[in-house]
Structure 1
Amino acid sequence: MTIQLDHLILPVSDVERSVRFYHRVLGFRYEPVALVRVTPTLVLQLIPRAPEVSQHLAFSMTREEFQGAVERLRAAEIPFGDDFDSVGNMKGPGKAHGSQKDGDSIYFRDPDGHMLEIIHYELA
């Protein structure tokens, strides 16, 4: 299939604060019109609207990107956990099941409370 996810609209209470968070913690690039580039073919479009519910976004990355993100979470003292219901235990990574089966994962929240997961798969 050639179908790909192109963009997600994510409501946030403060666009600039969210842009800084996603850039600082995950290394995503800011682009005009409140876009945060995740990959060459996927962007988050941040809209200035207080979220009514928390979204869950999971991002897979290389081992190096994963380790760097975990280091930045620790340095910024952002609570994280080894499972979605244990954010704040500062343990991990845990194991999670995603698009490529089981991987090492860490869960944490963005400034608006959206549940974020980073995952790294060991590919054979």
Structure 2
Amino acid sequence: MRIDHLDHLVLTVADMAATVAFYTRVLGMQEMTFGDQRKALIFGQQKINLHPAGHPIAPHAASPAPGSADLCFITTDGIHEVIAHLQDCGVALEAGPVPRTGATGPITSIYFRDPDGYLLEVSSYDPSERAP
């Protein structure tokens, strides 16, 4: 078996409306309603399914809890543009910019948190240093 790419992941959230508002306003994702009024966030060719805390949708993680993950998103914007946008949105930076290693090479990352306390990392690749 060979895995090609990630299709979606699931976040357990305490306040669905606050989470949707944050990810659409701050990260520019699109809200999606599907199935039995389930919520998801769409970006590129991926999505994040949202499960309400206390009412996870089966099957689910062994111990679903808000704030229990950290996620890294890649941006094509300059990292300083992202920092300015976060400041305009009133989002406090937790760390960065700092050098890190991404899936295909060196990245520059910044860190902040969403309403549930999930650690979010937004990173940019230097195109000249990206692995083939």
> Is TM more than 0.5 here?
yes
Q: Kindly name which structure, 1 or 2, has the bigger radius of gyration based on alpha carbons.
A: 2
Corresponding position of 1:88? none
Match of 2:77 among 63, 67, 73: 63
Q: Does structure 2 retain, via aligned residues, the 8 Å contact 1:81–1:93? A: no
Corresponding position of 1:35? 40
Corresponding position of 1:5? 6
What residue identity is the alignment partner of 2:86? L
Residue 26 of structure 2: SS of its match in structure 1? helix
Count of aligned positions: 113
Report which stretch shifted further, 45-54 or 10-19. Answer: 45-54
Aligned-residue offset at 1:20:
0.5
Call closer, same or farther: CA 1:58–1:120 in 2, change over 3 Å. same
Residue 50 of structure 2: SS of its match in structure 1? strand
**C-alpha separation between the residues in 1 aligned to 2:75 and 2:66?**
28
**C-alpha separation between the residues in 2 aligned to 1:48 and 1:80?**
26
**C-alpha separation between the residues in 2 aligned to 1:71 and 1:56?**
22
- When normalised by structure 2's length, the TM-score is 0.76
**C-alpha separation between the residues in 2 aligned to 1:71 and 1:52?**
27
Q: Does structure 1 retain, via aligned residues, the 8 Å contact 2:13–2:66? A: no
**C-alpha separation between the residues in 1 aligned to 2:15 and 2:82?**
22
Q: Does structure 2 retain, via aligned residues, the 8 Å contact 1:25–1:69? A: no
**C-alpha separation between the residues in 2 aligned to 1:63 and 1:113?**
24
Q: Does structure 2 retain, via aligned residues, the 8 Å contact 1:15–1:48? A: yes
Gaps of 5+ in 2: 55-64
Root-mean-square deviation (CA, aligned residues, Å) is 1.9
Call closer, same or farther: CA 1:69–1:20 in 2, change over 3 Å. farther
| 2:21 pairs with 1:20 | yes
Match of 1:108 among 105, 109, 112: 112
Aligned-residue offset at 1:107:
0.2
Match of 2:92 among 75, 79, 85: 79
Call closer, same or farther: CA 1:68–1:16 in 2, change over 3 Å. farther
Gaps of 5+ in 1: 83-91
What residue identity is the alignment partner of 1:37? I
- When normalised by structure 1's length, the TM-score is 0.81
